[in-house]
Amino acid sequence: MNEIVDSFLARRNPVVKLGVLLVLSLSLTVIFDPVTPAVFALLGLLAAWGLGGVRPLRLVRAMAPLLAAAAGIMMANLLFGREVAGDVVLGSWGPFTVTEARLMVGGSIALRVLAFAALSLSFVFTTEPGLFVLSLVQQLRFNYRVAFGVLVGYRMLPLLQSEYQHIRAAQRARGMAEGRGPVAWFQRMRRYAVPLLAGAVRRAGRVALAMDARAFGAFPERTYRRRVRVGPADWAFAVGAVGLGAAVVTVLTALGVTRFGVGV
C-alpha cells in the first residue's frame, strides 16, 4: 500500500485533484512539441516532492520503468517514423534514417508519456484510496456498492503479494528448485497459482460475509462516519494548478515553442 505523507497535496480533496489531473493531461493531448510536456513533467515531479512530501528516490524508482518505455517510443519513432517531404536529415545508419520530423514526433510522444506519468504519480502518491472512494461517492455520487467493491479488491492486492512471498519461501524451504527458463517459469507459476487462488477465495468469502453482516448494499443510500468536503483551499489549489498550466502554455506559445495540432 502507498505510504501517504501528511502534506498540502494529501489534504486536498481527491476529486478536485483528479479533476486537475484530467484537465492538465487533456491539455497535453493537443500539444505537439517536446518542450511543453517536459515542463509539465518537471512541474508534476516538483509538486509531488515539494507539495506532496514524496521522497525523490521513490519518484525515481516509480519513473524508471516509464523512462525505459519513453526511450523505446523515442527510438521506434526515430527509426520507423513516417517520412515527411522536404524533411531535414540528421543522420543515417544503414537502412535507418533519422530526420528532424521523426525527432520531433518521437520526443513529443515520449515526453508526453513522462508528463502523464509524473502528474499521475503526484496524484497516486498523495491520495489515500479509502478517502478517494469516499470522495467519489460523496462528491460525484458514484454507486457506493461499486466504489467500495473496487476498494476491497484494491486492498487485497498487497495481501496477495505477501501471500505469494510466503508460498515461495515455504516451497523453497522444502527443497523445490525454481529453475530457469520459460518452462521452469510456467511450472513455478502453476505451483503458486493453486494456493494463491485458494487463499483468495477464502479471503473473499470472509469479506463477503462481513459485508453482508453489516447490511452492505441493502439500502440505496448509506451514512458515513467521515465526510469528505470541498473547501476554499481545494478550490484555490485547483485554480492555481490549472492557472499555472495555462501560464506555461501561454508563455511557451509566445516564445514559439509550443505547437498545437498533429503536424510539425
Amino acid letter, 250: T
* pLDDT confidence band for 220 (50 / 70 / 90): confident
Torsion of CA 185, 189, 192, 193, to 10 degrees: 180
C-alpha cell recorded at residue 239 = 485554480
Per-residue pLDDT reduced to its tens digit, 39-68: 999 999 999 999 999 999 999 999 999 999
Query: How many whole angstroms separate alpha carbon 108 and alpha carbon 175?
Result: 51
| pLDDT greater than 50 at residue 264 | no
Per-residue pLDDT reduced to its tens digit, 101-117: 777 888 889 999 999 99
Helical residues (DSSP H) of the chain, grouped into ranges = 14-28, 35-46, 56-80, 100-124, 129-139, 144-173, 181-213, 232-254
Query: How many whole angstroms separate alpha carbon 32 and alpha carbon 23?
Result: 17
- Write down the pLDDT at residue 263: 46
| pLDDT greater than 50 at residue 83 | yes
| pLDDT greater than 70 at residue 91 | no
Domain segments of the chain as ranges: 14-127+230-254, 145-213
Q: Which residues contact 12 (CB under 8 A, 6 or more apart)?
A: 126, 233, 234, 237
Per-residue pLDDT reduced to its tens digit, 127-146: 998 899 889 888 888 888 88
φ, ψ for residue 242 (rounded to 5)? -65, -40
Query: How many whole angstroms separate alpha carbon 75 and alpha carbon 18?
Result: 32
- Write down the pLDDT at residue 114: 94
Q: Which residues contact 45 (CB under 8 A, 6 or more apart)?
A: 59, 63, 118, 121, 122
- N-terminal to C-terminal alpha carbon distance within the chain: 43
Of 247, 246, 261, 254, whose CA–CA distance to 23 is shortest?
246
- Helices 35-46 and 232-254 cross at an angle (nearest 10°) of 150
* pLDDT confidence band for 80 (50 / 70 / 90): confident
